[in-house]
Chain A
Amino acid sequence: MACASTSASATWNMSSLRSAIPSIHARSASSVHLSTGTSSSRLKLSSSKVPHSFVGLAPLHPLFSLSSPDSTSFEHCFTVIDNGGRFFAMRHGKRVPKLNRPPDQRRALLRGLTTQLLKHGRIKTTRARASAMRKYVDKMVTLAKDGSLHKRRQALGFIYEKEIVHALFAEVEERYGDRNGGYTRIIRTLPRRGDNAPMAYIELV
């Protein structure tokens, strides 16, 4: 099929074309099966209703992880479309806290907050920010528990001050060696006077 056609004949052979295209006739056949409801040895259709597009023979890029829903991790550089390219008008089921900021500012806010928490040990902030931060603080402590050079460099890429990273890597063994996860604690407190925002203390446990 890849040979350049130098032949003079311009007529195509429809049967050869039809055999080259992947067939999608199984869809219409299954709708008939579902209405009748018989459970003999029919072909069970796969759950997706969209016919699979032709992806070609190129290998999948190793960095594309089709199954990871986490698109806010700091080592991730590519947009992951994990719902088959569908978009919805609502936010149903999406558990990423947006913190009223665009993604770059959100990332910077969380980096700054975790830096300050690791520096001071206890900070007072709004409840939404405190509960959004927990994941990143735990991630930093987990990197420190691993302790290798690669993890140290990953932590240095997230925390704004390098002395804090080195201090964290030095002391995490004796502080959190026995604890598996849950390295922070959130204590709710009085609302802020200026705008009545619910506040919380978040501290390293």
Chain B
Amino acid sequence: MSRLMEPLSVGGVIGEVVDNFIPSVNLNVTYNSNRQVSNGHELMPAVITAKPRVEIGGEDMRAAYTLVMTDPDAPSPSDAYLREHLHWIVTDIPGTTDASFGRELVSYETPKPVIGIHRYVFVLFKQRARHSVRPPASRDYFNTRSFAEENGLGLPVAAVYFNAQRENACRRR
């Protein structure tokens, strides 16, 4: 169990975005049907323009899940005063299906990293009841922890993140 959590805590996701949790549900995020998101790997901005296919595990289809995608390094990792920037919220996803079966609360916004290398975090929560999640007021100054508190979501059940920088950033050094 701790082997899955190591990249998340080393990458700072546990600590800055969410608290320490025990992952209980499988989460597969795939862009363009061939680029799977793995913790800490880098994706090109051309790949992440469209929303990904998110497949979740879980035991049955009666449970509802909420997926949140944020950027904790907005606008720049060295000075993240807009932490975090919200990109996507999908609620009422039935278990063992994918995100297209859910209700998109906040539409997918294409990540545009301008300065530095940004982390983009997908967090999956289990809902207690359907239609219990309300959209936040704005995309900036988002706080995943307080969002979970307000909507009674508790600790996450899965998380994954990837890195992205702007298209013409220096990569050879």
Interface residues of B in 146-173 (CB under 8 A from A): 163, 165, 171-173
Which residues from 121 to 158 on chain A have a C-beta closer than 8 Å to any C-beta of chain B? 121-125
A204 to B12, CA, bound (A): 11
Question: Is A113 an interface position by the 8 A CB rule?
Answer: yes
Give CA–CA (A185, B119) in the complex, Å.
14
- The distance in angstroms between the C-alpha atoms of A189 and B7, with both chains bound, is 10
In this complex, how many residues of chain A approach chain B with their Cβ under 8 Å: the count is 19
**A120-B78 in contact (CB<8A):** yes
Q: Which residue of B lies closest to A171 (CB)?
A: B79
Chain B interface: which size bin?
20 to 34
Asked if A189 meets B73 with Cβ closer than 8 Å, knowing A119-B78, A171-B79, A204-B78, the reply is: no
Nearest-neighbor residue (CB-CB) of A109 within chain B: B173
The reply to whether A120 and B40 form a contact with Cβ atoms under 8 Å apart is no
A187 at interface by CB-CB < 8 Å: yes
Write out the residue numbers on chain B whose beta carbons fall within 8 Å of the beta carbon of A171: 79
A189 touches B40 (CB 8 A): yes
Roughly how many angstroms separate A116 CA and B173 CA in the complex, as a whole number?
11
Contact B77 A122 (CB under 8 A): yes
Contact B12 A185, beta carbon cutoff 8 Å: yes
B106 to chain A, nearest CB (A): 26
Chain B minimum-CB-distance residue to A126: B173
Q: Which residue of B lies closest to A121 (CB)?
A: B78
Partner of A201, one of B76, B163, B171: B163
Chain A nearest CB: distance from B4 CB in Å?
Answer: 16
Q: Is B25 an interface residue (CB 8 A)?
A: no
When the two chains form their complex, are residues B117 and A122 in contact, meaning their CB atoms are under 8 A apart?
Answer: yes
B115 at the binding interface (Cβ < 8 Å): yes
* A10 vs B25: C-alpha distance when bound (angstroms): 102
Is B62 interfacial (CB-CB < 8 Å)? no
- Closest B residue to A119 by beta carbon equals B78
Q: Quick check: is A173 within 8 A (CB to CB) of the other chain?
A: no
Assess A120 versus B163: contact at CB under 8 Å? Given A125-B173, A203-B77.
Answer: no
Does A118 count as interface, using CB distance less than 8 angstroms?
A: yes
CB neighbours (8 Å) of B35 from chain A are none
A57 within 8 A of B: no
Q: Which 6 A-B pairs have the closest CB atoms?
A: A121-B78, A121-B77, A120-B116, A122-B77, A122-B117, A121-B116
Beyond A123-B173, A185-B10, A187-B10, 19 additional pairs, beta carbon < 8 A: A120-B76, A120-B115, A121-B77, A121-B116, A122-B77, A122-B78, A123-B116, A124-B42, A124-B117, A124-B163, A124-B171, A171-B79, A185-B12, A189-B41, A190-B41, A194-B172, A201-B40, A203-B77, A203-B117
Give the B-binding residues of A (Cβ under 8 A): 113, 116, 118-125, 171, 185, 187, 189-190, 194, 201, 203-204
A-B contact pairs, 30 of them (CB 8 A): A113-B173, A116-B173, A120-B76, A120-B77, A120-B78, A120-B116, A121-B73, A121-B79, A121-B80, A121-B115, A121-B116, A121-B117, A122-B73, A122-B116, A122-B117, A123-B116, A123-B173, A124-B117, A124-B165, A124-B171, A171-B79, A185-B10, A185-B12, A187-B11, A189-B40, A190-B41, A190-B42, A194-B172, A201-B40, A204-B77
